[in-house]
Copies of this chain bind each other. A is one copy, B any other.
Amino acid sequence: MKKTTRRQFLDNTGKAAMAGTVIFAANKTGKMELKNIFIHHVYFWLNNPDSKDDLNKLKEGLTKLSKVKTIKEFHMGKPADTNRDVIERTYAISWFCMFDNAADQESYQKDPIHLKFVEDYSSLWKKVVVYDSVDA
């Protein structure tokens, strides 16, 4: 049953992709390679890393920020339990956004919701690192 459902999902994804609205390509193994997308991944370090209140405020702000229309997918994250030398796990919150293209990401930067987010919440963080990536 799982298998069928997954196939239905992928079939439909294919149809949507043809219509230009969705950005997945299913490969032979059934997993999805993301293509023709713009990934905007932001990591925040808080001024008060031990403040649960500040953390919750930032999450509240990002929930508001998620309303920006050009965002196709988003994820609000925190460091996983993994811990190796190469893993950066000192950030407080990761903010993953997927856009259809660079223009949509640019539009997001200028969106009033985004400007208000920066205005209202930027006092919470001391450092932010952004990785923007497009198909290699």
Contact = CB atoms under 8 A, between A and B. Distances in A.
Contacts of A37: 75
Interface in A89-112: 89, 91, 93-94, 96, 102, 105-106
B86 A129 contact: yes
Interface of A is mostly: mixed
A115 interface: no
Interface residues of A, number: 64
A116 interface: no
Given A6-B16, A8-B15, A87-B130, A76 B21 contact: no
Contacts of A77: 39, 133-136
Nearest to A96: B39
